[in-house]
Amino acid sequence: MGSTLILASGSATRQSLLKNAGLDFIAVPAAVDERAIEENLPLAGRDPVSIARHLALAKAIDVSQRHPDAFVIGCDQTMSLGDEVFHKAETVAQARETLKRLRGKAHFLNSAVCLVRNGELLWSDVVRACMQMRDFSDAFLDDYLMRNGQTILSSVGCYQLEGEGVQLFDAIAGDYFTILGLPLLPLLGALREHEINHA
């Protein structure tokens, strides 16, 4: 098929994953108010997995409405500790509090991905990764924050697993792509089913 493939995200990491997989696509960031979408969900639908799924779909539909006939990939990731959904820290001080809350516990990264065309959902999936954070010392935390500073504010968990953030963990259950925010293997399968993945 000659249809355009669009990633509804400005994430450099997600774009890199698709490029490295050999996909021909363009990136068009969605213009949606994530917090408003989350707040408008019924209370029964505000669990971490449902929130990720709704946000991914909202982003894909937003871009799809502006690009008729294109296949649009929407994605989003939530981070949860129990039923609590976390949002990105705005300051290093907030990052310290987030990491103190996560320390010594297992939290989840819930990565949603969907495929939309002409505003219609064709396929979706949510894949979870379980992240067991080690019980690091306050001294280690202070050093980590000093070395990584503002860079960790781009991640909801205040870490980049591909960098020094890996030092925060004892164990991880889940695939690397899901942790980075795009369940790549299920997506590639869906693209093949719709004959838009050349592999």
Could you give the dihedral angle defined by the CA atoms of residues 177, 179, 181 and 185, in that order, rounded to the nearest 10 degrees?
30
Encoding tokens for residue 121? 């959902």
Extended strands (E) in 31-168: 71-81, 84-86, 106-117, 120-133
175: annotated active-site residue? no
Rounded Cα distance, 59 and 7, in Å? 10
- Identified catalytic residue from 24, 62, 69, 76: 76
Structural tokens at position 171: 């164990």
Q: How many residues does the chain have?
A: 199
**Where in the sequence numbering do the catalytic residues fall?**
76
